[in-house]
Chains A and B, each alone.
Chain A
Amino acid sequence: MIAVFDSLAPILAAMITAATPLLLAALGEVVTEKSGVLNLGVEGMMLVGAVSGFAVTVTTGSHAMGILMAACAGVVMALIFAFLTLTLLANQVATGLALTLFGTGLSALIGQGFVGTPIPRLPELNLPGLSDLPFIGPILFSHDALVYLGLAMVGAVSWFLYDTRAGLVLRAIGESHEAAHAIGFSVLGIRYLAVMFGGAMAGLAGAYLSLAYTPMWAENMSSGRGWIALALVVFATWKPGRLLLGAWLFGFVSIAELHVQGLGLRVPSQFLSMLPYLATIFVLVLISRDATRIRLNAPACLGKVFHPDA
């Protein structure tokens, strides 16, 4: 057991990096869903973001350009979704799933020329003095820009949703688009922006994977993280703060189970690998027992089609 404690610092540091793509993608989806739109295409957007960011970084040599382009690629994918579901009123669930299929194939296609190409990792920002602190130094102060962006976005999204008028309008649209429209808000316009934001964040999440977490491109490299992100949005009852907790929980258990395997504990690896998923269910049950909390946070119009003119 002492061995586990020794590992605690590295586990926590790894937890933060493992949680970052989940956090980025899920934050984007929170905003999207808060406006009343359910976009299940996160996995596809992440992959397209990952390959675009990677391709641009390889050709320009600049991580910053790669990150920027990844976000743009995510926005483009999201626009396809937005056009189909918001303008053409297509079913959101099926369109999101189609987007995932499309994005997976498209990313594989674009990425064919880039497999097997190594790039330097997105550098860690070593904050002088802070990074050298014992124990918390490596955990909190030795990460790359995207990790810090993810953490900052938790606050930014939370502030936007709950402390700004624009956020209030967005939430209102998610709760009752008919009423919001009657007041005069542009339901479609704001939803378009929300969906695009979700796409940008998913693209950034993908960029983190291909530029920082494992600097390479491989088909399907998101390995289902988009789905976990979607689940975390539900877990967090659409609140950014709780989303951070959920991402850390999932990340922590995922990393810890690897450490436990390495220590040679006599538990079959498959059961250890189940732990992140079981832990998420368990904690969700704990926090869901209060029925009112769920009702108060799920956007009432989530997934519903909005058509202003009769």
Chain B
Amino acid sequence: MRRDALPLRLEARATPSAAMVWLTPVLAVGLTLLSGFALFAALGFDPVRVLYGFFVEPVASKRGITELVVKATPLATIAIGLAVAVRANVWNIGAEGQLLMGALTGGGLALVFHGEEGPWLLPAMLVAGMLGGMAWAAIPAFLRTRFNASEILTSLMLVYVGRLLLGFLLNGPLRDPEGFNFPESRLFNPEAMLPMMVPGTRMHLGAVFALLVVGGGWLLLARTFIGFQIKVVGLTPAAAAYAGFNEKRVVWFTLLLSGALAGLAGVMEVAGPIGQITPYISPGYGFTAIIVAFLGRLHPVGILLAALLMALSYLGGDAVQITLGLPQAMTGVFQGMLLFFLLGCDVLVRYRIRRRRAPAQPQPQTAPVTVP
């Protein structure tokens, strides 16, 4: 499939198109709606109702919007950390494990002090959660800086180890003594839980923390020296070494940071919507956050929007099952399609489509904006 055989070609823009940054998601959603329309109609469902149920209905009520925020909170929190790490070419695939560890340490604190809570407990839990996530991320950091072991593999393997560890603890020391020996912990007392921001809903203070994390992430990358180092180490390690930036320190920093954020997301889940430690704390937030990070183009604001969109797609998936009886498998297909269109349309930000006239002339190459 030689490029110049096609009638169209992609021509790099001199600078990424600002207009397209906003237009491409709209275009992508439009394409998704069109193909979704065709798909659902072909399978015998009312396409308008399905699409409405997917995108509009979940947020058509106050409760719906708060649920959207509740679902997006851990996604955004983790994705910021992942994005910072990826900028330094550090691939923390194991955020899911760090989330579980944070839930264990933070939630564990709530269990240890069950009945003796004070105003200090909740902040302590959040800190403990971050420390737990950091500790779990420190393992891949250590193995990479000391032994050159790829953090992709080590952090991923540790996810499974973390899950099994959680299962072990819940069948033993963490088990609710009055819980008929079922593998769940005690319910946390209200003092050990995040306060609700909107009464009658589940929207908890974690949403504020997520926003702070988004803002902090932006600040870190745009305005701090370490942020600058992160970016240089990621883009041109040779230049970074020449400039005296310590790559190992950047690896540690980014892994610990993303571990802390994943741990924070974990403790916010157990101290928020769940209210106890169970074996099912996360339906894969650590992995979904990777998608969110890249959908958001590794930019904090983009990540915020991407988290909301991904959350919406999950909410929509449940909603259409309930209101229209759409099979659950179809929501996975639809989500995949949405992502395909979003990712595909992204090309228009950095390239424009041109008709090919003469054979391609050698032209000065602008460095393609790569997102590793």
Chain A directly contacts chain B within the complex, with at least one CB pair under 8 Å: yes
Q: Footprint of B on A, CB under 8 Å?
A: 44, 80, 84, 88-91, 93-95, 97-99, 101-106, 108-109, 112, 186, 188-189, 192, 219, 224, 227, 230-231, 234-235, 268, 270-271, 273-274, 277-278, 280-281, 284-285, 288-291, 294, 303-310
Residue of A nearest to B150 (CB): A234
Q: Which of B264-315 contact A (CB under 8 A)?
A: 287, 290-291, 294-295
Main secondary structure of the interface of B (DSSP, over half): helix
**Which of the listed residues B12, B152, B158, B371 has the most CB atoms from chain A within 10 Å of its own CB?**
B371
Shortest C-beta distance, B343 to chain A (Å), equals: 4
8 Å CB contact of A309 from B9, B327, B328: B9
Q: List 9 contacting pairs A-B, 8 Å CB cutoff, sorted by A.
A: A44-B336, A88-B343, A108-B327, A188-B2, A270-B167, A277-B158, A284-B154, A291-B148, A309-B360
Are B161's CB and A278's CB within 8 A? yes
Are B10's CB and A89's CB within 8 A? yes
Residue of B nearest to A44 (CB): B336
Tell which of B203-211, B221-229, B249-257, B361-369 binds the partner.
B361-369
Are B147's CB and A308's CB within 8 A? no
A290 to B149, CA, bound (A): 10
A195 to B246, CA, bound (A): 36
Are A310's CB and B12's CB within 8 A? yes
Which residues on B sit within 8 Å (CB–CB) of A99?
336
Q: 0/1 per residue, B135-163, Cβ < 8 Å to A?
A: 00000000100011110111011101100
Are A281's CB and B143's CB within 8 A? yes
Are B150's CB and A101's CB within 8 A? no
Residue of A nearest to B291 (CB): A97
8 Å CB contact of A284 from B150, B327, B360, B368: B150
Shortest C-beta distance, A138 to chain B (Å), equals: 29
Shortest C-beta distance, B64 to chain A (Å), equals: 23
Q: Which of B111-146 contact A (CB under 8 A)?
A: 143
Q: Does B201 reach chain A (CB closer than 8 Å)?
A: no
Residue of A nearest to B6 (CB): A87
Known contacts A274-B160, A278-B161; is A94 also within 8 Å of B343 by CB? Answer: yes
Q: Does B182 reach chain A (CB closer than 8 Å)?
A: no
Are A304's CB and B370's CB within 8 A? yes
Are B164's CB and A95's CB within 8 A? no
Are B1's CB and A186's CB within 8 A? yes
Known contacts A288-B149, A309-B11, A309-B360; is A105 also within 8 Å of B336 by CB? Answer: yes
A305 to B365, CA, bound (A): 14
Known contacts A89-B10, A309-B11; is A289 also within 8 Å of B148 by CB? Answer: yes
**Which of the listed residues B149, B347, B370 has the most CB atoms from chain A within 10 Å of its own CB?**
B149
Are A310's CB and B363's CB within 8 A? yes
Are A304's CB and B336's CB within 8 A? no
Known contacts A90-B346, A105-B331; is A281 also within 8 Å of B157 by CB? Answer: yes
Shortest C-beta distance, A182 to chain B (Å), equals: 10
Are A109's CB and B330's CB within 8 A? yes
A102 to B168, CA, bound (A): 32
Q: What 8 pairs between A and B have smallest CB-CB spacing?
A: A105-B332, A102-B336, A94-B294, A108-B329, A98-B339, A90-B343, A270-B168, A277-B157
A284 to B332, CA, bound (A): 34
Count how many chain B residues have C-beta atoms less than 8 Å from C-beta atoms of the other chain. Answer: 58
A192 to B2, CA, bound (A): 11
Known contacts A112-B327, A274-B164, A310-B364; is A106 also within 8 Å of B333 by CB? Answer: yes
Shortest C-beta distance, B354 to chain A (Å), equals: 9
Shortest C-beta distance, B237 to chain A (Å), equals: 11
Are A91's CB and B149's CB within 8 A? no
Known contacts A186-B1, A189-B1, A227-B156; is A84 also within 8 Å of B344 by CB? Answer: yes
Known contacts A93-B290, A101-B332; is A309 also within 8 Å of B363 by CB? Answer: yes
Are A102's CB and B143's CB within 8 A? no
Which residues on B sit within 8 Å (CB–CB) of A219?
329
Shortest C-beta distance, A253 to chain B (Å), equals: 12
Q: 0/1 per residue, B3-36, Cβ < 8 Å to A?
A: 1000001111000000000000000000000000
A235 to B161, CA, bound (A): 17
Shortest C-beta distance, A44 to chain B (Å), equals: 8
Are A95's CB and B363's CB within 8 A? no
Which residues on B sit within 8 Å (CB–CB) of A284?
149-150, 153-154
Known contacts A270-B164, A280-B153; is A294 also within 8 Å of B330 by CB? Answer: no
Residue of A nearest to B338 (CB): A98
8 Å CB contact of A277 from B160, B171, B327: B160
Q: Does B189 reach chain A (CB closer than 8 Å)?
A: no
Residue of B nearest to A186 (CB): B2
**Which of the listed residues A101, A106, A289, A294 has the most CB atoms from chain B within 10 Å of its own CB?**
A101
8 Å CB contact of A94 from B148, B156, B291, B366: B291
Known contacts A97-B287, A109-B327; is A80 also within 8 Å of B154 by CB? Answer: no
Which residues on B sit within 8 Å (CB–CB) of A108?
327-329, 332
Are A89's CB and B2's CB within 8 A? no
A285 to B144, CA, bound (A): 9
Which residues on B sit within 8 Å (CB–CB) of A288?
147-150
Residue of A nearest to B4 (CB): A309
A227 to B164, CA, bound (A): 17
Which residues on A sit within 8 Å (CB–CB) of B340?
80, 84, 95, 98, 102
A176 to B363, CA, bound (A): 19
Known contacts A91-B346, A112-B329; is A270 also within 8 Å of B165 by CB? Answer: yes
Q: Does B199 reach chain A (CB closer than 8 Å)?
A: no
Which residues on A sit within 8 Å (CB–CB) of B291?
94, 97-98, 101
Instruction: Give 19 new A-B contacts, CB below 8 A, not counting A231-B156, A289-B148.
Output: A91-B346, A91-B371, A95-B343, A101-B291, A101-B335, A227-B156, A230-B152, A270-B165, A273-B164, A277-B158, A280-B153, A284-B149, A291-B148, A294-B148, A303-B372, A304-B370, A308-B3, A309-B10, A310-B365
Which residues on A sit within 8 Å (CB–CB) of B347?
88-90
Which residues on B sit within 8 Å (CB–CB) of A289?
147-148
Are A281's CB and B343's CB within 8 A? no
Shortest C-beta distance, A309 to chain B (Å), equals: 5
Which residues on A sit within 8 Å (CB–CB) of B337?
102
8 Å CB contact of A101 from B167, B339, B360, B368: B339
